[in-house]
Amino acid sequence: MTEGGTVQGKFISFEGIDGAGKSTHIGFVAGWLAARGKAVVSTREPGGTPLGEKLRELLLHEKMHLETEALLMFASRREHIAQVIAPNLALGNWVLSDRFTDASFAYQSGGRGLARDKMETLEHWVHPGLQPDLTLLFDVPLEVARERLDATRTLDKFEREQADFFEKCRGEYLRRAAEFPQRIVVIDSTRSIEAIQAHLSEVLEKLL
Ligand code: ADP
Ligand code: TYD
């Protein structure tokens, strides 16, 4: 409840290495919630605002220093929180974000090796007091994710990284899940889409 007496919406983030199945399931979750009368806003990071989408273009295609990359991810996030996430939650809407700060831990700290305390500093600076109510971590072994990534599509800067990079990203995601078991639910994404959706329904039911 906010001071005005309106009910705050809920914030769900979707995480996992590239090809794990996030995009496949965001639409399902949005539909599931809408069918239960929730107003749903689907968005993504990096991006989600006009400025954030410009930053996304740079982040996905330009070479840059690791710390520049981390700072731009959080610049995009700061704008996203101000323009989209916070106002929608205040209106009582449910916000579904394709990635949030766990992705920065996984990719910039896990994958690229940025010291975790620097990441924690950015997290505390940019969103003190705000965390997703629920994070769905789609987890698959690397080989499965690679097979699923459409061979015909042009891969971006991150998707062209080597296997070792994604192993480290996955490891950091799972470490975060163990650190925050109340918030992060690991979804075994090697199962069929139907089996995963049944699991998602159970998890969502508890959040209503
Ligand atoms: P992400 O958004 O995590 O990068 P996607 O949702 O785009 O991943 O999924 C990558 C590919 O794998 C898509 O072609 C999708 O149809 C397929 N896929 C997703 N989940 C499954 C699954 N459980 N079983 C088989 N194929 C899947
Ligand atoms: P994503 O939207 O999952 O890519 P796609 O549309 O191709 O499925 O994410 C874009 C990339 O950005 C992805 O490889 C992960 C990376 N990323 C980071 O490295 N750090 C971050 O903080 C975020 C949000 C994303």
**Predicted local confidence at residue 6, as pLDDT:** 61
Nearest ligand 1 atom to alpha carbon 26? 6
Residue nearest to ligand 1 atom 26, measured at CA: 148
* Of 24, 3, 8, 32, nearest in space to 140 by CA: 24
Pocket test for ligand 2, best of 25, 42, 99 (most atoms within 8 A of CB): 99
**Predicted local confidence at residue 2, as pLDDT:** 46
* Ligand 2 site residues, Cβ closer than 6 angstroms: 18, 23, 44-46, 73, 98-99, 103-104, 107-108, 156, 158
Is there a contact between 118 and 185 (Cβ–Cβ < 8 Å)?
Answer: no
Statement: residue 64 has pLDDT above 90:
yes
| pLDDT digits 0-9 by tens, 152-184 | 567 889 888 888 999 999 999 999 999 999 999
* Of 185, 89, 104, 179, nearest in space to 139 by CA: 185
118 or 159, which is more confident: 118
Ligand 1 center–CA 117 separation, angstroms: 32
Residue nearest to ligand 1 atom 16, measured at CA: 24
Is there a contact between 69 and 108 (Cβ–Cβ < 8 Å)?
Answer: yes
For residues 182-208, give the mean pLDDT: 97
Statement: residue 77 has pLDDT above 50:
yes
Is the minimum distance from the CB of 98 to ligand 1 under 6 angstroms? no
Is the minimum distance from the CB of 21 to ligand 1 under 6 angstroms? yes
Range name among 57-71, 72-86, 103-117, 138-152 with the lowest pLDDT average? 138-152
Percent over 70 (pLDDT), the chain: 95
| pLDDT digits 0-9 by tens, 18-49 | 999 999 999 999 999 999 999 999 999 999 99
**Band of the pLDDT at 150, cuts 50, 70, 90?**
low
Q: How many CB atoms lie within 10 A of CB 66?
A: 14
Q: Which ligand is nearest to the CA of 27?
A: 1
Residue 162 structure tokens:
């080597």
Nearest ligand 1 atom to alpha carbon 193? 23
As a whole number, the mean pLDDT across the chain is: 94
Please tell me the distance from the alpha carbon of residue 133 to that of residue 8, in angstroms, as a whole number. Answer: 11
Statement: residue 5 has pLDDT above 60:
no
For residues 66-90, give the mean pLDDT: 98
Percent over 90 (pLDDT), the chain: 87
> What is the separation, in whole angstroms, between the first and last Cα of the chain?
14
The pTM of the whole model exceeds 0.85: yes
Pocket test for ligand 1, best of 24, 26, 156 (most atoms within 8 A of CB): 24
Please tell me the distance from the alpha carbon of residue 125 to that of residue 56, in angstroms, as a whole number. Answer: 21
**Predicted local confidence at residue 152, as pLDDT:** 52
